[in-house]
Amino acid sequence: MGVDTDTVVVTGLGATTPLGGDTASTWAAMLEGRSGIGPIEEEWAAGLPVRIAGRLAVEPATVLDRVQARRLDRCEQVALVAAREAWADAGSPDVDPERLAVVIGTGTGGALTMLGQDDVLEASGVRRVSPHTVPMLMANGPAAWVSIDLGARAGAHTPVSACASGAEAIATGLDLIRLGRADVVVAGGAEACIHPLPLAGFAQAQAHSTRNDEPARASRPFDVDRDGFVIGEGAAVVVLERGSFAAARSARAHAGLTGAAVTSDAHHITAAHTDGQIRAMRRALAVAGLSPLDIDLVHAHATSTPLGDLVEAGSIAEAIGTHPAVTATKSMTGHLFGAAGAVGALAAVLALRDGAVPATANLDALDPEVKLDVVAGAPRRGRHRAAVANAFGFGGHNVSLVFTAAL
């Protein structure tokens, strides 16, 4: 089957994050430079070296039907909340179900259910284990529930590529439309795994910040004093449409999705490598038919780890250059793992749409080895033509997306 070169546009946006329960509140907080990171108050965190996280601003169970919420893992809950908002924002397209697909990525899926039900099994025996355990813990649960909710019958896909999952979902959505397999794709990422085990594991790996006394200032991408990421939870979802389909129904486009690329490092299970990141950005630009000089903005993956930020900074400088404005919104949301790439994509789309680039919070002193124009202090106003949104994950997963301003 030949590739359809018809344009692909973003017509719907949805989110629930540590900054807000929807896209508007999340975006407003990003532009204000507010942090969604705070202390973990539960007793189980008392003995951990990490006691901070980016908790959801709005509990999904307060938005969803009560009975339904009880039968969904938290990861599935946030996916459904974000997808419903994105679908409504797109105007609830009247599309043949056979031409509607869903792609929701996640890094850990229903980790909270798996760990919680294992505790129930150990403490109370098999008869106390929930009969909903398997549908709640399976990684494809978020995509499955969104497809059921929307009646999507052109496929429900689940990329699981660590912290690149949400971005890979959007890249897959672009492919599905250009390959002629769908006219509309609901794509994004979801994650909810704030639990003692992941926190302990990341602390042992020295990947997580231990600034427990100042949580709002703990995530500091590109800052010389950064000491690791901060775990967060939430979801972001976009509605992608074939350009001709969107035009036929006079849909508003937030931006165009013109390029995407997925590469792998084949190098190390946790350490990033410039080669894979550079190839992802260059391939995405080639797919978009753009040159590095066409890119005005980069939403960096930038998790706030000492090594990871330097690797990405060098990759951006090599693949695109030092001229674009660079922003890193994990400084406010924390790191949402499988949802991170989708949140970054959403921020890039909104920056193009509104002519405002969020400042990277907590950037008091730029690491002298970072040779980029990182936006700090206040949002940068002005129109931008095109943006790259990066997402990289453990295992050597690299995804770059290219968005262009709507005409």
- Active site residues per annotation: 163, 301, 335
Degrees, nearest 5: CA angle 189-192-193: 130
Q: Which two tokens stand for residue 101?
A: 């697909």
Question: Residue-wise over 313-334: b if at least 16 C-beta within 10 A, else e?
Answer: bbbbbbbbbeebbbbbbbbbbb
What is the spatial order of strands in the sheet that 184-191 belongs to? Answer: 156-157, 100-105, 184-191, 234-242, 8-16, 255-264, 397-405, 386-393, 297-299, 325-327, 373-374
**CA-to-CA distance for 141 and 150, rounded, in angstroms?**
14
- Any idea which residue has 């690491």 for tokens? 367
Q: Which two tokens stand for residue 119?
A: 């505790």
> In 3-state terms, what secondary structure has residue 255?
strand
* DSSP code per residue over 258-291: EEEEEEE--S-SS---HHHHHHHHHHHHHHHT--
DSSP H helical ranges for 19-164: 23-32, 66-70, 74-89, 111-124, 133-137, 141-150
Q: Taking the CA atoms of 129, 135, 136 and 138 in sequence, report the sign of the dihedral they define.
A: positive
**CA-to-CA distance for 33 and 376, rounded, in angstroms?**
10
CB burial of residue 168 (10 Å; 0-12, 13-18, 19+): buried
> In 3-state terms, what secondary structure has residue 156?
strand
Do the Cβ atoms of 175 and 224 come closer than 8 Å? no
